[in-house]
Amino acid sequence: MNSKSISQSSKLRSLILDPKSINQHLMCAICKELVIDPRECGRCKTLFCSICINTQLEQNQTCQKCSQNIQLNDPHPIIRNLISEIQIKCTNEGCSQQMQISKLDSHLKQCEQEKTKCPHSGCDFKDTLQQMKIHQYTCGYRTKTCQKCKLIHKMNEGHDCLDVVLKKVKIMEEQIKQQNIIISDIMLKVEQIHKKQNDKNTNFCSNEFEQNLDTPKSDKCQQNNKTCICKKGDAYQCIVCKLSEFLSP
């Protein structure tokens, strides 16, 4: 419990070292004890615990000191300061430390009796810092790296390197399968491109005009006689050297 929540709970009173030394101005006008989470009458500045005055307001709207219709204010900051300076003992049983309420938080961070939760995920162990130091060496939820397979596992989990390796093999097999699918997909595409290219070579001239396969071979090309005529009928073209010869009108 931190000092803010302590100062708002009635547990605070049981921690006060010397209740008799408390300034009478810090007492609640209703319960006559140290004000918890103080509120004040806006007219006469009388202090009340939040709980005490809220309970009273359900039945009676007048201040018992000044007999006026009550208007609640937050008290002057000095009131909270005075309360935060009250000497208390540590909230942890077994701890003999004494401090001002305002110093409780910083004390709890190092209090030997403060209970903390084991930091290992999954572990519910809660104890003092001292006990925690011992627990750290035995906690079943602490992790360990297997020297053989480098897998990090919890101490209380059975670990079998073979299992780990088999799992890895399975994952790799699955990856290879996926890659093979990708490769055969690429192969198919390459094949399609080759086929298209071949079709082009046999059926189209470089102007991408469709060949007229019925056209007799021309002797225009000096290098070979494989010549096509474009379907448009305005040019011969050699399939191999791509030289075009325009038809004379």
In this structure, the number of other CB atoms found within 10 A of the CB of residue 227 comes to: 23
| 134 counts as binding Zn ion under rule CB under 5 A | no
CB atoms within 10 A of CB 14: 11
CA 7 to chain centre: 33
Tell which one of 22, 52, 79, 205 touches Zn ion (CB under 5 A). Answer: 52
Q: How far apart are CA 210 and CA 200, in angstroms?
A: 9
Using the rule CB under 5 A, is 132 a contact of Zn ion? Answer: no
Sole binder of Zn ion in the list 1, 26, 27, 30 (CB under 5 A):
30
Asked if residues 11 and 2 have their Cβ atoms less than 8 Å apart, the reply is no
Q: How far is the CB of 144 from Zn ion (least distance, A)?
A: 10
The DSSP H or E segment spanning 180 is helix 161-203
Q: Does the protein bind Zn ion through residue 6 (CB under 5 A)?
A: no
Binders of Zn ion in range 180-209 (CB under 5 A): none
Instruction: Out of 6, 83, 139, 205, name the contact with Zn ion by CB under 5 A.
Output: 139
DSSP state of 211: B
Does the footprint of Zn ion cover residue 56 (CB under 5 A)? no
Q: How many residues bind Zn ion (CB under 5 A)?
A: 32
Residues 249 and 236: their CA atoms lie apart, in Å, by 13
Q: 220 Cβ partners below 8 Å, 6+ apart?
A: 227, 236, 238, 243, 245
**Which residues neighbour 122 within 8 Å (Cβ) at sequence distance 6 or greater?**
141, 154
Of residues 84 and 131, the one with the C-beta less far from Zn ion: 131
Segment interacting with Zn ion (CB under 5 A) among 73-81, 82-90, 185-193, 207-215: 82-90
Is residue 29 a contact partner of residue 46, using CB atoms and an 8 Å limit? yes
Quote the least distance from Cβ 4 to Zn ion, whole Å: 17
Name the minimum Å distance from CB 143 to Zn ion. 11
* CB 195, min distance to Zn ion, A: 24
User: What would the two tokens of residue 165 be?
Assistant: 């390796």
238 is a contact residue toward Zn ion (CB under 5 A): yes
- Least CB distance to Zn ion at residue 192 (A): 28
Give the interface with Zn ion as residue ranges (CB under 5 A). 28, 30-31, 41, 43-44, 46, 49, 52, 63, 65-66, 90, 92, 95, 97, 111, 118, 120, 123, 125, 139, 141, 146, 148-149, 161, 221, 223, 238, 240-241
